[in-house]
Amino acid sequence: METGRINCLAVDASETSELAFNWYAKNYHRKKDTLIILHIHEVPQLPMMGILSGIYPTTDEHRKTIEDSVKAAKAVVEKFKNLCVEREIEFNEIILDDNFKSPGHMICELVKKKAATVVVLGQRGLGAVSRTFLGSTSDYVLHHSNVPVIVIPPTTPSQEPTSYYK
């Protein structure tokens, strides 16, 4: 009897995450698979400029900022949970706080810990300069993951994915 795979979909609020989900559901998912919906919640930090200038938000303001970001993170995951329910995809959800680690590093750690067989994520389409100085999550995961990585590029409505094997 065939057992299902554990697959990981790393998501954020970007449109490319939805493209990645749709690609996964159409092209990769099998009936017995379980999808881990992973979101890395970037916890808002106190702005350094405010601290250095002596003007910074009150504890209540900062707490409100954090609460709002937690709500936004839950909303991102909720969107993908609903898509899974619509398509009858078994799933688990995981939201991790970034804790000063890079999202790419955290994705690779979780994939290893959960024994996932693949990571699927969207490429956000950073420009060449931003990618050079900041790097990108998809680049990091692609080069550091211990399992295959599928990176879905951003597309515009006029760009339909093409198949060379028609």
DSSP of 43-58: PPPPPHHHHHHT----
Name the H helices within the chain. Answer: 15-27, 48-53, 59-86, 103-114, 128-134, 137-144
Other CB atoms closer than 10 Å to residue 117's CB: what's the count?
14
Residue 139, φ and ψ in degrees, nearest 5: -60, -45
Per residue in 47-86, pLDDT (tens digit) is 654 555 566 656 788 788 889 999 999 999 999 999 999 9
Per residue in 4-41, pLDDT (tens digit) is 999 999 999 989 999 999 999 999 999 999 999 999 99
HSE toward the beta carbon, residue 136, CA cutoff 13 A: 17
Per residue in 124-157, pLDDT (tens digit) is 755 554 444 445 889 999 999 999 999 998 875 4
- Taken in order 43, 68, 7, 126, the sign of the CA dihedral is negative
Tokens (6 digits) for 153: 């590029």
| Secondary structure letter of residue 101 according to DSSP | S
Instruction: Name the pTM for this structure.
Output: 0.81
CA angle, residues 162, 38, 131, in degrees to nearest 5: 60
What pLDDT does residue 132 have? 46
